[in-house]
Chain A
Amino acid sequence: MATRTALIALTALALVAAGTAPSSTLANRPLFAQAGQQPDEFSITLRNAAMHQKVGMPDFLVPAGDTELAAAARSIADVLWNDIDFEREFYMIPRKSSAGIPAAPITALPYDRWAELGADAVLVGSVTRKGDEVVVQLRMIGVRGASQGKQGFGAEYPNCRMSNPRFCAHSIADDFHKEVRQLDGVARTKLAFVSDRDATRVVGRPSQTQAQGKEIYIADYDGANQLRLTANRSLNISPAWGPGGNLLAYTSYLSGFPDIYITNLATPGRALERPAQGDANAQNQMAAWSPDGSRLAFTSNREGNMDIYVVNRDGTGLRNLTAGRPEADLAPTWSPDGGQIAFISDRAGTNQLYVMNATGSGQNRLSGEKADRPTWSSLRFIAFTVGSGPGHDIAIWDFNNPGVKILTDGVGSNEGPAVAPNGRHIAFFTTRWGKQHIAVMDRDGKNIRQITEVGNNTFPNWQPAASR
């Protein structure tokens, strides 16, 4: 498919996203491979997603004596290993297993040692300083047979920051997956979720009920850098990222009733937007952005029962899509093309999964399972919660093979799925580790990873594109 070996530099786009200072050094820089080099068998297998090659990653090489740089290099290697492992395009040999193999330059790689571990290739990194910046070089080198010593990928990332090795690694991982597998990785995306970990006392609420404030938090997709976004000592739930990755809509009770607020992470301190214009008699929640960001679908009780509404971002064009029915309709999610909305309705007696056109026409039930919180994936499936007992599980409705497939295994209660922008991963919250915690798994239900460890954590939502 691709006709040349990898010649990469970190793209200008990625660096702008990183918030790095604009610089003239952002231009693509062809590096290690010679221009015009022919694709060899090794580089072709790298592009074959059906081949799950075993890949080792030795410690990155650093100039002797620079301990600060060595620490950054260790972080970059660890995070990069994790990022590549996360997408499961390669079988990553655990770093512990290869700890005994010394780091070595390309010219002196101990191929036999790597072959002993079953490695098909190694990712060899080196880190140097250039002024205030950290320069990372990464190459993928074949280990065995005819591909031994051949380079399948090679790139230099000149603008890494000593202060942010994690972001450096995430940027490299996304670039690597894009180049080698034509895959949009999610290493730079974030998760938003709700937590009571700070146990704030809710303003104006007496002690007769447990009323710990719940605030919106943001974390890297792998759980690092967990930060609180809201601090209004109220109930804040249902965060929903806008398509560009900077806007976040959420439901807050800070006025005494639920309404939808939008904050812009790129312009902190600006007034919050309230496109649904709620009041005590028109309460709004469960916002979902249209894929182009121009509209929001949400749930409101303003006509006496819960219905699905859409409204333009500026508050105009309000429409009830499920008017004329006394039953509850809630939890909308847009199809990737913006033409349809899936939602939950109890019009058949219990909450079930429905789909309709974004105009409200053509309302049809998809599944008779007791269901909640659908999230439409870019990979032609809808993730949602099923189960009628005390416990719930995450399931998908697969349009390619219509039917319900349950992904979680009945351990604890699992709910609130949110799909990664590349469709390959699902975040949800679960009681399997005691309290409520955010977890991430692959879309086949494998590789469940715990993201939060403190407090109760609910309502995950996956950033659709990396922000700053």
Chain B
Amino acid sequence: MAFSTHRLLSSALPVIVVVALSACVKKPPVLATPPPPPPAAAPTVTTASTTPPPPPARPPEPPPIPTEPPVRSNALLPWNDRPIEEVNGPNSPLKPVFFAYDSDELDDAAKKILAVNADVLKQYPTWVITVEGHTDERGTAEYNLALGDRRALTARNYLISLGIAADRLRTVSYGKEFPFDAEHSEGAWHQNRRAHFMLTSK
């Protein structure tokens, strides 16, 4: 069902550029309580109003050349057309948060980043992500597996408090096994004490 809708809308691309582009990025949401399946033609409009807050209002008058709006609309949900590996790449829209040594507490900077990540997750309501807890190399292996577990859970709980459904947020701890920076310096350790947010399914 989801596929046929998608294909139908994609085939409309050459005809109505604006509609097609906004349709591409809007797959039917896989939420816990999915809305009843709307008629074939309607979904683009209805889901558009339930998904993220729209960018600044468009002028109501019909623009002569609709180049500007499609670009902005595309920029809103650009990641759904990319492979998961790319979403999880260096330019991921989901930013890591960092922790103090031996701590699983979120400071203000971390909370700000999590708020941004929560916005991204609201924009992409189908995304299921895995929150990875990582540590620096100080401390023993098993201890760090537990610390990474707590970091991932703390970040996850904060995202839940910001309105993200719990079933979209998995956690995993890698302890000190997958450092961001393998050097043995305070700078590297800072980079490595983190929660990483990886897209698991779109």
Contacts and interface: CB of A to CB of B under 8 A. Distances in A.
A and B interact physically:
yes
Interface of A: 202, 204-211, 214, 235, 237, 253, 256-258, 280-281, 283, 285-286, 299, 301, 304-306, 328, 330-331, 344, 346, 351, 372-373, 385, 389-390, 392, 415-416, 458-459
B141 A283 contact: no
B140 interface: yes
B154 to A, nearest CB: 12
B199 to A, nearest CB: 10
Nearest to B200: A256
A207 B178 CA distance: 11
B142 A330 contact: yes
A235 B143 CA distance: 17
A333 B134 CA distance: 25
Given A209-B196, A256-B172, A286 B142 contact: yes
Given A256-B172, A301-B149, A306-B149, A207 B90 contact: yes
Contact of A372 (B134, B143, B179): B143
A285 B145 contact: yes
Q: Number of contact residues on B: which range applies?
A: 20 to 34
Contacts of B145: 258, 285-286, 330
Given A256-B172, A256-B200, A283-B172, A210 B180 contact: yes
Interface of B: 85, 88-90, 92, 130, 134, 138, 140-143, 145-146, 149-150, 153, 170, 172-174, 177-182, 196, 200
> Which label, helix, strand, loop or mixed, suits the secondary structure of the A interface?
loop
A199 B155 CA distance: 30
Contact of B85 (A204, A283, A458): A204
B142 to A, nearest CB: 5
A281 B149 CA distance: 12
A208 B172 contact: no
Contacts of B142: 286, 330-331, 344, 372-373
B174 A208 contact: no
A211 B178 contact: yes
A306 B150 CA distance: 9
B146 A306 contact: yes
Contact of A208 (B90, B150, B170): B90
Contacts of A373: 140-142
B89 A208 contact: yes
B148 to A, nearest CB: 11
B88 A330 contact: no
Given A208-B92, A211-B178, A285-B145, 12 more contacts: A206-B89, A206-B90, A208-B88, A209-B180, A210-B179, A214-B177, A235-B177, A280-B170, A344-B142, A372-B141, A389-B138, A459-B141
Given A256-B130, A256-B200, A351 B143 contact: yes
B140 A372 contact: yes
A330 B146 contact: yes
